[in-house]
Amino acid sequence: MMDAEIKLTDKLERKLPPQLMDFLKSAGKKAAERNEKAYIVGGVVRDLLLGLANYDIDLTVEGDAVALAHELLGNIAGTITVHKQFNTAKIELEGWNIDFATARSETYARPGALPEITPASLVEDLKRRDFTINAMAIGLSGKNYGTLYDPCNGKTDLQEGKIRILHDGSFIDDSTRIWRGLRYEQRLGFQIEAHTLELLKRDIPMLDSVSGERISYEIDCIFKEQHPERVFARAYRLGVLNKLNALIKFDKPMEEWFARAREMSYPNAPSAVLYWLLLTYNLDIDNRERFISYLKLPKRISQAFRDCSAVKDRLELLSASGISNSEIYRLLTGYSPQAITANIIAGDVEESRAALNLYMEKLRGMKTIISGSDIMQMGVEQGPQLKKMLDAVLDARLNGEVISREDEIAIVKKMLKE
Ligand code: CTP
CA of 176 to the centre of ligand 1 (A): 11
Per the CB < 8 A criterion, the answer to whether 215 and 244 are in contact is yes
- Choice from 46, 50, 58, 152 to test ligand 1 binding pocket (greatest atom count within 8 A of CB): 58
- pLDDT-based confidence at residue 108 (cuts at 50, 70, 90): confident
By C-alpha distance, which of 408, 410, 413, 311 is closest to 367?
A: 408
| DSSP label at residue 113 | S
Centre of ligand 1 to C-alpha 175, Å, is 14
Q: Measuring CA to CA, which residue among 322, 347, 349, 317 is closest to residue 332?
A: 317
**Which residue minimizes the CA distance to atom 27 of ligand 1?**
43
* Helix/strand/coil for 39: strand
Cα of 224 vs centre of ligand 1, distance in Å, is 14
C-alpha of residue 143 to centroid of ligand 1, in Å: 27
Nearest residue (CA) to ligand 1, atom 3:
130
Which residues, including other chains, have CB under 8 Å from residue 204's CB and lie 6 or more apart? 175, 178, 238, 239, 240, 242, 243
Question: In whole angstroms, what is the distance from residue 264 CA to residue 345 CA?
Answer: 9
Domain 1-160 CATH class label: alpha beta
Q: What's the 167 CA to ligand 1 centre distance in angstroms?
A: 17
Point out the ligand 1 atom lying closest to the alpha carbon of residue 135. 11
For residue 78, what pLDDT band results from cuts at 50, 70 and 90? confident
Which of 187 and 86 is assigned the larger pLDDT? Answer: 187
- The model's confidence at residue 2, banded by pLDDT at 50, 70 and 90, is very low
Give residue 76's pLDDT: 78
DSSP 207-266: GGGS-HHHHHHHHHHHHTSS-HHHHHHHHHHHTSHHHH-TT----HHHHHHHHHHHHHHT
Q: What is the dihedral of CA 223, 226, 228, 230, to 10 degrees?
A: -170
The pLDDT score that the predictor gives to residue 93 is 87
For ligand 1, pick from 52, 55, 125, 130 the residue to mutate: most ligand atoms within 8 Å of CB.
Answer: 130
User: Could you tell me the distance, in angstroms and rounded to a whole number, from the CA of residue 43 to the centre of ligand 1?
Assistant: 6
Return the top range by mean pLDDT from 13-17, 72-76, 257-261: 257-261
Chain centre distance of CA 349: 30
Please provide the DSSP assignment of 313-350 as one string.
HTHHHHT-TT--HHHHHHHHTTS-HHHHHHHHHH-S-G
Average pLDDT in the chain: 94
Q: Are 128 and 137 in contact (CB under 8 A)?
A: no
At 66 the pLDDT is 96
Whether pLDDT at 3 is above 70: no
Residue 46 alpha carbon, nearest atom of ligand 1 = 23
Nearest CA to ligand 1 atom 5: 130
In this structure, the chain runs to a length of 418
Ligand 1 lining (C-beta closer than 6 Å): 42-43, 56, 58, 129-130, 134-135, 174, 176-177, 180
Answer whether residue 273 shows pLDDT above 60: yes
% of the chain surpassing 90 pLDDT: 88
Query: How sure is the predictor about 125, in pLDDT bands with cuts at 50, 70 and 90?
Result: very high
User: Stretch 360-371: mean pLDDT, rounded?
Assistant: 96
- Residue closest via CA to ligand 1's atom 9 equals 129
Q: What is the pLDDT of residues 183-197, one digit of tens each?
A: 999 999 999 999 999
pLDDT in tens, 152-165: 999 999 999 999 99
- Residue whose Cα lies nearest atom 14 of ligand 1: it is 42
User: If you measure from the C-alpha of residue 361 to the centroid of ligand 1, how many angstroms do you get, rounded to a whole number?
Assistant: 40
Q: Are 118 and 109 in contact (CB under 8 A)?
A: no
Rg, Å, the chain Cα set: 28
Strands 191-192 and 162-163: parallel
Residue identifier of the C-alpha nearest atom 13 of ligand 1 = 42
Q: Which of 30-39, 68-77, 123-132, 333-342 has the lowest mean pLDDT?
A: 68-77
- For residue 314, which phi and psi values (nearest 5 degrees)? -100, 0
Given ligand 1 and candidates 59, 98, 134, 211, which is best to mutate, with the most ligand atoms within 8 Å of its CB?
Answer: 134
Cα–Cα distance measured from residue 220 to residue 273, given in angstroms and rounded to the nearest whole number: 9
**247 vs 241: CA distance, rounded Å:** 9
Coil, strand or helix at 381: coil
More confident residue, 261 or 94: 261
Residue with CA at minimum distance from ligand 1 atom 21: 43
Q: pTM to 2 decimals?
A: 0.92
Which of the residue ranges 57-71, 86-100, 108-122, 360-374 would you say has the lowest mean pLDDT? Answer: 108-122
Separation of alpha carbons 225 and 188, rounded Å: 11
Q: How far is the CA of 344 from the centre of ligand 1 (A)?
A: 35
Q: How many angstroms separate the CA atoms of 17 and 13, rounded? A: 8
**What are the CA-CA distances from residue 77 to residues 73, 91, 140, 258 (Å)?**
7, 10, 21, 41
Predicted confidence (pLDDT) per residue in 214-269, tens digit: 999 999 999 999 999 999 999 999 999 999 999 999 999 999 999 999 999 999 99
Q: How far is the CA of 276 from the centre of ligand 1 (A)?
A: 23
The closest residue, in CA terms, to atom 18 on ligand 1 is: 43
Helix (H, G, I), strand (E, B) or coil at 159: helix
Residue 215 phi/psi, 5° resolution?
Answer: -65, -45
DSSP state of 380: P
Backbone angles phi, psi at 147, to 5 degrees: -75, 135
Nearest-atom index, ligand 1, CA of 128: 7
Distance CA 364, CA 328 (A): 10
Residues 373, 375, 379, CA angle at the centre, nearest 5°? 105
pLDDT of residue 166: 98
CA of 177 to the centre of ligand 1 (A): 9
The 8-class DSSP code of residue 147 comes to B
Average pLDDT over residues 308-326: 96
